[in-house]
Amino acid sequence: MRAYPVPPPRRTFTGIELTARKRFADNWQLLASYLYSRLEGNYDGNFQASTNQVDPNINSAYDYAEFEVNTRGWLTNDRRHQFVLNGTYRFPFGLDLGLSAYYRTGIPVTAMGYDYWYNNWELYLSRRGMWDRTDSEYEMNLHLGYPLKLGGVEINLLLDVFNLIDRQGETARDTRYDLWQVLDVINYETGEVLPPIKKGTPCTSLVSADNAFTCNSVFNTANAWQDPRSVRLGVRITF
């Protein structure tokens, strides 16, 4: 029987944030921020985003030795650059205009392998976060509010437009490198840990022709997108 060392969980966030704030005066206000950060380690946290598990403290991260191979790297929610801008302006005739916008770089992509016993993609076939990154995301939202006085009652007419520019960019990619357990991270005959798959290596080059059907043809393509533009109307009554 061969024993494998179990690495302690690591989840290290380092970052620097710059903010600029202009308090509401002269009919406008502004809040802007920029964050540069790095999120690295071998443990995503209570929510294991890499395998889409939302069972805090009982996810599969440390169930078996093979689940910890190649796990040290950029964690799932690592984003290097994030910009946020929020501002409002009140026109002399009472209309309130608000804008909020963000820009953030993409998240890491890892080649995940299927595990037969867990019926899920638990194996880190490539080094964590080293395969690719999703495209950058950006979005803008608009808010309008107009108050009407009716005696002692104020009626505020509201309009919110989410995703004003209607950008429907990708937010995630299909990380399933294979669709059945043909590739492993440990040689179970010798007990040796296998080298990680290098970035860009096609799955079909690593399996026999008879097993080519187990390769995921849509690996590393988008499988989630920003919601399309939507509009919300509202009325707020204050008395």
Look at residue 92 and tell me if it is in a domain: yes
Q: How far apart are CA 43 and CA 63, in angstroms?
A: 13
- How much is the pLDDT for 190? 86
Contact 147, 155 (CB under 8 A): yes
Q: Is the pTM above the cut of 0.85?
A: yes
Provide the number of structural domains found in the chain.
1
Residue 50 falls inside a structural domain: yes
Please answer whether residues 164 and 102 qualify as being in contact, where contact means their C-beta atoms are separated by less than 8 angstroms: no
Cα–Cα distance for residue pair 116/164, rounded to 1 Å: 44
The residue among 239, 234, 99 whose CA lies nearest residue 157 is 234
Burial 108-135 (b: 16+ CB within 10 A, else e): bbbbbbbbeeeeebbbbbbbbbbbbbbe
pLDDT score, position 34: 99
pLDDT in tens, 169-194: 999 999 999 999 999 999 888 888 99
Residue 5 lies in a domain: no
pLDDT at 80: 98
- Asked whether residue 4 is assigned to any structural domain, the reply reads no
The reply to whether 90 falls in a domain is yes
- 6 inside domain: no
pLDDT score recorded for residue 1: 54
- Residues of the chain predicted below pLDDT 50: none
Instruction: Judge whether 3 lies within some domain.
Output: no
Residues spanned by the domain of 214: 11-238
Residue 200 domain-assigned?
A: yes
- The confidence score (pLDDT) of residue 3 equals 64
